[in-house]
Structure formats: C-alpha cells, structure tokens
Chains A and B, each alone.
Chain A
Amino acid sequence: MDVAMVISLQADSLNAKGHAVKYTTWDSVTVEVIDKNELFIDNRIGLSKLTLPLRPDTTISSFLFTYHEQTDTLFVEHTPRQYFVSLACGCAIYHTITAAWSTDYRVDSVQIINANVENAVQENLRIHLHE
C-alpha cells in the first residue's frame, strides 16, 4: 500500500499580454528529502502533483524545494499512526497533518487541503507561489 502526501501548485502570473494566468503545473522542480539528504524529484517538468513520503518515525518532515532555481524549505508537522490492513497485507502508516509552513523565497503560503494522508490520491497540501 502506497501512502504518500500529495502536493498541488497554485501560482498566479502575467502572460505576455499582461493578463493574469493561473498555473497549476510543476515545471522545473527539484525536491530533496532533507532527513535523507537525497534527491526525490530531480528537475522534472509538467507534473500536475508532487507525491512525497512523510517520515513514519518522527512528527516533522522537511523538504527542500527548488522551483525555477529558487529554493524554499517546506516543513510538515504530522502525527503518524499505524493502520492494520490485513494479515496478508500487513500494516501501513497513515498520517494526520497538523501544520505546514515554508520559507518564503518563492512560496507565498502553504494551505492544508486534506489533513489525512491515507493514500497517494487525495490532495493534501496546496502551495501558493508569488507572482
């Protein structure tokens, strides 16, 4: 069972004609899992969502976001809990997100959409970027 936090993007920008345009696709994004010092997503483009693993053994998970060469640090506070699936499938770790925040070089705000991280389908966080 794949349990992961799903992050979507919301960014407002002006196009060449000066009209406001909303972007919801991650372009040129790199994500590093700080506690593991490892690149999880390496300069990917055209992603509609990011699917990131929360740590099962602590209550804070942190990630380095690099978006169009500007880097922010995302912190997610969460409560892990065991969820017994079945004798054949074993146990999964679900999480409840209690808070989420970020540095603000490119990120404007972080919004919790669904606090329960129980699969890799539901949107959990939405990151709003500066123009």
Chain B
Amino acid sequence: MNSRLWFILPLLLLALRASAGERADNHASEDKQSKQYPDTAIFQGMSIKLDIAMPILELARSKGKVQDYEMALNVRLAKRFYPTLELGYAIAETSADGGFYGGQGGFARLGMDLSALKKGASENCLMVGLRFAGAYQRFQITDVPIYGDYWPMGKVDYFNQRKFDCWGEIVAGCQVQIWKGFQMGWYIRMKLLFTRTDKHGDALPAYLPGFGYRNDTNWGINYFLGYKF
C-alpha cells in the first residue's frame, strides 16, 4: 500500500499542478520558487536528481548483497527536451549452482527525455525518453563447475576479470516541483542488453551495474528527489 502511494503521489501532484496550471502561470507563483527563463530561451535550467528507490529495493530484495546508487543530471532545453546524463555505482554478490559471483563497477547512461504534455507545460511533466548505457566492472567468479557427462570434471575460478557491457533503455516517468526548486518523481525503464555473449567463452558477470541481473531484457524503476538550479 505504501509503495503504491509513493508511486501515485507524484502523479497526483502532477494532476493538481496541471489543473491549476494557468492560474500558476498568471500569478507566477512557481516563478518565485526557482529561477525562471524566458519562454523563447533555449536553455531553461538544469536539475540534479538522486535515486532513492534502488538502494532501498536492493536492501530489501538481496538483503544488502547488491547495492546500487545513482544520480542524474538533466538540462531543460526549449521547454520540452531534457538531455540527461545518469551516473552510478554498484556492488553485487550472488550465487547460483554454477558458482559465486562478486563484482563492482560504475555505469553511465546518456539520453534524452521529451515532455509528453502539451507544449508550454511547466516544470511538472510526464516524460518519455531513450538511453544508451554502458557499465564497466571488475569481478570474480569462483567454484564454477565444469559440466560433462563422461569424463570426471572439476571446478574453475575466474579471478581479476574486467568486462564492459552496454545496453539501451526506453524510459517513461514523471516529475513534479514539490517546494521551491525541489523535485520528485519516478522513472520506469525497459532495458535491452546488447552485449549478451562472449565469443571467446570468457566469464560473464552475473550482475551489471545499472542494468541488474544478466538477462537479455530487464525492467527497472527509479524514484528520485531532485533540485533544479
């Protein structure tokens, strides 16, 4: 119930802001809360956002074996366009029948959001966008069994491994101005992994910073607090 409330709260705020949009424009009540730019200006400000969903989700889901921290920096251009750079770092441990994985590394996503509301909407908006992302990590996988039906097989370790992975994302979300320059909102992400195999048969990390557990596709969610300056 609480998680639904947090998910819906920005949407409710967004709806309230939209219904009072014209009045807000007339009285310029929002304008006094953060620096305003002329409607004709290309540059309309920038904001920094800190994700609070992934650290909490992973703490609950993996009992702290996965830690994923990320922040975003976006610029508002021509009122509707939001070029975005997202940076993060993750530490992960997991195990399966095939052995034990431990790794850590950073990731970056670069992309663009587009306000899905009518032209001239305020800072409060629904957004859709695309990202291209990459993650570089150092990891190790130990006690990996070598499978074979006939000959006796042992186990193998992969120490000091490094791997770069990249993927694409389709994102949708919303953001609302909650007080002065402070913002809140969420993103839902559909992620498509590009680096799915290794042609040399080298070890593949089980967890990708910023992407999640290694699958061809993944879903993700961010709930962020931000500040526009």
Contact = CB atoms under 8 A, between A and B. Distances in A.
A41 to B, nearest CB: 12
Contacts of B120: none
Given A53-B151, A90-B98, A90-B99, A84 B203 contact: yes
B125 interface: no
B156 A82 contact: yes
Interface of B is mostly: loop
Contact of A88 (B97, B148, B150, B151): B97
Interface in B188-214: 198, 201-204, 206, 214
Interface string A85-115: 1111111111000000000000000000000
B73 interface: no
Given A91-B144, A91-B156, A86 B98 contact: yes
A53 B202 contact: no
Interface string A40-81: 000000000000010111000000000000000000000001
Contacts of A83: 201
Interface of A: 1-3, 33, 53, 55-57, 81-94
Contacts of A93: 146, 148, 153
Contacts of B94: 87
A87 B149 contact: no
Band of interface residues on B: 20 to 34
Interface class of chain A by DSSP: strand
The 4 closest A-B CB pairs, nearest first, are: A83-B201, A90-B98, A53-B150, A87-B206
A82 B141 CA distance: 14
B201 A56 contact: no
A87 B198 contact: no
23 contacts: A2-B149, A33-B150, A53-B150, A53-B151, A56-B146, A56-B151, A57-B151, A83-B201, A84-B201, A84-B203, A84-B204, A85-B98, A86-B214, A87-B144, A87-B204, A87-B206, A87-B214, A90-B97, A90-B98, A90-B99, A90-B145, A91-B145, A91-B147
Given A56-B153, A82-B156, A84-B158, A90 B201 contact: no
Nearest to B95: A87
Interface in B85-106: 94-99, 101
Interface string B149-168: 11101001010000000000
Of B99, B101, B158, chain A has the most CB atoms within 10 Å of the CB of B99
B95 to A, nearest CB: 8
Interface string B133-149: 00000000100111111
